[in-house]
Amino acid sequence: MPKKVFANNRIRAKEVRLIDKEGNQLGVVTLGDALRKAQADNLDLIQVTEHVNPPVCKITDYGKYIYRLQKKEKNQKAQKSGELKSIRLRFNISPHDLETRVRAAEKFLKKGYNIKIEMVLRGREKRLSDFAKEKIKTFLTMLQETTAIKIEKEIKRSPRGFTMLVRKS
């Protein structure tokens, strides 16, 4: 259930900033006038903001308003854009393993995660950084064939290899 919603006679302010059913601002009116306008349209007066003086109230259907709030709350829970999943690639990764990592990345992107792609380099592999970048670019092209992606952070050198950040566009 969304936050506590004050409607009609539960609103305690003396004056309210009123918004009509079309979304037009009618200015600051007394609570009684606002309630009469809402009743004339067979709708409810709902307090939209809490910590503003005078509070903002809107003339709308209470059930539809609660439904929209619940839907918005559900969408916010479903978005995981702040969460991060990591895909690690190795210098000598086989083409089949690369395809497997692409499928895993697709699943993460469909669920709304951002993906951190890491290319881990050890020992003498660090000297062949161009080859490592090519492997990452190959991974990206394979991923772009199936999923629309946006590169958040370009390929960046790190002490252990290369990293980059990708999200669904």
- Domains belonging to the chain, first-starting first, are 8-77 (3.10.20.80), 84-168 (3.30.110.10)
| pLDDT band with cut points at 50, 70 and 90 for residue 2 | low
Q: Write down the pTM of the prediction.
A: 0.53
Here the tokens at position 78 are 């479903």
For 24-34, write each residue's pLDDT tens digit: 888 899 988 88
pLDDT at 84: 87
pLDDT at 89: 92
Q: How far apart are CA 102 and CA 123, in angstroms?
A: 26
DSSP 26: E
Q: How far apart are CA 155 and CA 117, in angstroms?
A: 9
Which has the higher per-residue pLDDT, 6 or 106?
A: 106
Residues 160 and 119: beta-carbon distance below 8 Å: no
Q: How far apart are CA 108 and CA 85, in angstroms?
A: 7
User: Would the pLDDT of 102 be above 90?
Assistant: yes
pLDDT at 104: 93
DSSP E strand boundaries for the chain: 15-19, 25-30, 44-47, 56-60, 84-90, 114-120, 149-158, 161-168
Q: How far apart are CA 154 and CA 94, in angstroms?
A: 23
Which has the higher per-residue pLDDT, 79 or 148?
A: 148
Lowest mean pLDDT among 72-81, 101-110, 160-169: 72-81
Q: How far apart are CA 34 and CA 148, in angstroms?
A: 48
